[in-house]
Chain A
C-alpha cells in the first residue's frame, strides 16, 4: 500500500494527497493506493502537482493500516507525519486534530 506525499512549495510543510484530491497537512486523509494502477495514478498526480509548482520533493511511500489508521512503514515518514520526537510541542503532533480542509493544490 502506498500514499503520495510532498512538501508544500511556499513553506515546506509536509503534505499528503487525499482522496478528495486535495493536499492535506495531516496524513489521515491520504488516499491509499492498493494496486499498481492506483499507484501509477498517484504518481502521475504527484508529477503534475510538482510541475504546477504546488509541491516539491514528491514521493510515494509505503504504509500499512493499523486499526483503520494510516501508518508509514519507515520511521522517517512517521516522524515527518508527526514532528520531531524530541519536541512533541512542535509540528503536526502539537496541533489539534482533525479540522483540516486541505489546500487547493489538488485537481
Chain B
C-alpha cells in the first residue's frame, strides 16, 4: 500500500493544525460563518439536518486494517457508533461536533488519512476499480496513477477554485467497475501493441441534474503524459467553464456546449504547450509509485480448490455466497471477496464501529490487512486464499456481513436522502429498506439475476440513480415524497442514462411499482440468461409502461 513520505506527513499535519486554528477562531466568534464555510468545506465538513457531517477520503478506495480500525474508533468516540460508506469511496460521519473536528482529523492523520478536497470546487478524491490489483481481467493496477493524480492535485494552486467540483476515476480493465464514463475525467488504463501503458481519456461525464455520458477524446495517451494532458484539460475547463451558473458549471456542460471535437482540439492545442515539459512523468517515478502498490506475497495455496469444494457440499449458504460475492483473482489460489453492506432491510453502506473493527480483524487474519471500499457501497477483501474462504465467510456471518447479494436487486445503492441530507427532497434509505425486505428471498433474487437498483433523494444524484438499471429519484410534490422511476441506465463500459418511465409513485406505492417492473421483466425475458438490462434494451419501455400504468389509462 502507498505510505506517506515525510512531505505527505508534514503536509497533512500542517493542514490539521491550520484547521484547528480556524475552528478555534470560528468558535470564538472571530470569523463569521461566511468566512468559515469555505474553509470547513475544504476540510470535508458539511452541515446536514441534524448535525455536522464529516466526509473522509479513502483514496482510490484502499484501506488498511489499521486505517479501518481508526474509522471505527472515530465512529465510536466522536459519532454515534457508525459510519456511511459512499459511492465516491468516502466515509461520512453523520453526527460529529464542530468542536471535535480537529481531534478527528488529527486521529485520521495518524493513520495517513484526511478529509482534504472532499468538498469544494476542486479535484476530489480520485476513485478506482475496487478490484484493482486483484482483478483477473486488468492490464495493470490503475491505483499508482490515481496516487500520482492525488499528489499532483492536492492543493494544486491553479485548480483549487475551479468553476465546480471535479471528479476523476480510473480503471485498468475493459470491464468498467469504476463508472469512468460518469466522471468529469475517466481514465481507462490499457496497453498498446508495443506493450506500453497508456490511457483512453474520457471527459465530460457526470450525473446531477444534467446526466451526460463522457466522450472519449483520446484513445491512447502514453502514461508519461498523464499529468500534462490532464493539466491541459483542466486549463481549458478552468478558462471556459461557466462560472455564471452553478447548474451549468461542470465540465460536462462545457464539453456539450463546445462540441466534443472542438473541445478535444482546444485540449490538444493547450497540451502542445505542455507536452514533454516539466509535467512529463519520469519512468522511474511511475515505477517507484507502482512499487507501493505491489500485491502482497501470494504464496501458493493449492489446497483451496479441495477445501472450497468440501465446504460447498457442507453448507448451501456458503455456496450461495461463493457464487454471488466471490470473484476470480489474478492468482488462481486466491479470490476477491465482496462484503455486502446491504443486509436485508439494512441501510446501504452503513457499518457500525464493531463491524468495522471485525472487518479489520478478518482482513488482517486472512487478507494481508487490505480492504477496499467499492462505489457500490460495499467493502472488498481483495486477496483471500481460496483455502480461507470458509473461515472468512463464517466470521462475516457473525457480524451480519455475509449477505450473498452482490449485484442482485437488494444490493442497492442509496444516498442518505431526507433522513440526513439538507438538500434532499425525499427519503432514500426507507425506500431501499422496503425494497430489500420485499425481495428478501435469495432464491427469488437469484432468479431475477443481475439488477442494479440505485436511489437518490434529490436530483444531485449522489445515489447514481441515472445509471441504475432501475433508478429511483425522490422529489417533493406538494409537500409529500414522490418517487420517479428510470429504467435502462448503466454505469459500466456500455454506459447509458436511464429513461423516465412515467408519473411518479408515493412512498407506499414505490415498492409495488418496482415489483411490477421486475415481474414484467421476468415475463418477457427470452430466458434466464437474458439480464434485466439486456431485456430492457431489447424491449424498450412499452411493456413496463403497460404494466405500471395501463389500468389507469383505461380508467381515465
Contacts and interface: CB of A to CB of B under 8 A. Distances in A.
B429 interface: yes
A10 B99 contact: yes
Contact of A84 (B33, B420, B476): B420
B418 interface: yes
A75 B479 contact: yes
A90 B51 contact: no
Given A75-B479, A75-B480, A85-B419, A11 B430 contact: no
Interface in B44-99: 47-52, 80, 95, 97-99
A53 B36 CA distance: 11
Interface string A47-68: 0001011001100000000000
B419 A86 contact: yes
Contacts of B410: none
Interface in B399-429: 418-420, 422, 424, 426-427, 429
B29 interface: yes
Q: Which of A7, A57, A76, A87 has most chain B Cβ within 10 Å?
A: A76
Contacts of A52: 29
Q: Point out which of A85, A86, A87, A91 has the most chain B C-beta atoms below 10 A from its C-beta.
A: A86
B433 A86 contact: yes
Contacts of B418: 75-76, 79
B33 A86 contact: no
Contacts of A53: 26, 29, 32-33
A14 B97 contact: no
Contact of A12 (B32, B51, B419, B430): B51
A50 B49 contact: no
Q: Is the interface of A mostly helix, strand, loop or mixed?
A: loop
A74 B424 CA distance: 12
Interface in A52-107: 52-53, 56-57, 73-76, 79-80, 83-87, 90-91
A52 B27 CA distance: 11
Contacts of A10: 27, 97-99
B128 interface: no
B32 A86 contact: no
Given A53-B32, A56-B33, A83 B52 contact: no
A57 B50 contact: no
Interface residues on B, range: 20 to 34
Contacts of A85: 419, 427, 429-430
Nearest to B424: A76
Contacts of B99: 10-11
Contacts of A87: 347, 419
Given A11-B97, A52-B29, A53-B29, A73 B50 contact: no
Contact of B49 (A9, A73, A76): A76
B97 A12 contact: yes
B361 interface: no
A12 B50 contact: yes
B504 to A, nearest CB: 15
Interface string B277-294: 000000000000000000
B27 A80 contact: no
A14 B49 contact: yes
B268 interface: no
Nearest to A14: B50
Contacts of A11: 51-52, 97-99
A84 B419 contact: yes
A11 B79 CA distance: 11
A13 interface: yes
Contacts of B492: none
Nearest to A58: B33
A75 B29 contact: no
B481 interface: yes
Contacts of B479: 73-75
A86 B347 contact: yes
Contacts of B427: 79, 85-86
A50 B34 CA distance: 11
Contacts of B50: 12-14, 80, 83-84, 91
A9 B80 contact: no
Contacts of B27: 9-10
13 contacts: A7-B47, A10-B97, A13-B51, A14-B50, A50-B33, A53-B33, A57-B422, A75-B426, A79-B49, A83-B50, A86-B347, A86-B419, A87-B347
Given A84-B50, A86-B419, 13 more contacts: A10-B97, A10-B99, A56-B47, A57-B47, A57-B422, A73-B479, A74-B476, A74-B479, A76-B424, A85-B430, A86-B429, A87-B347, A90-B80
Interface of B: 26-27, 29, 32-33, 47-52, 80, 95, 97-99, 347, 418-420, 422, 424, 426-427, 429-430, 433, 476, 479-481
Q: Can you list the 10 inter-chain pairs with the closest CB atoms, starting with the nearest?
A: A11-B97, A84-B419, A12-B51, A12-B52, A53-B29, A80-B49, A86-B429, A56-B33, A10-B99, A91-B50
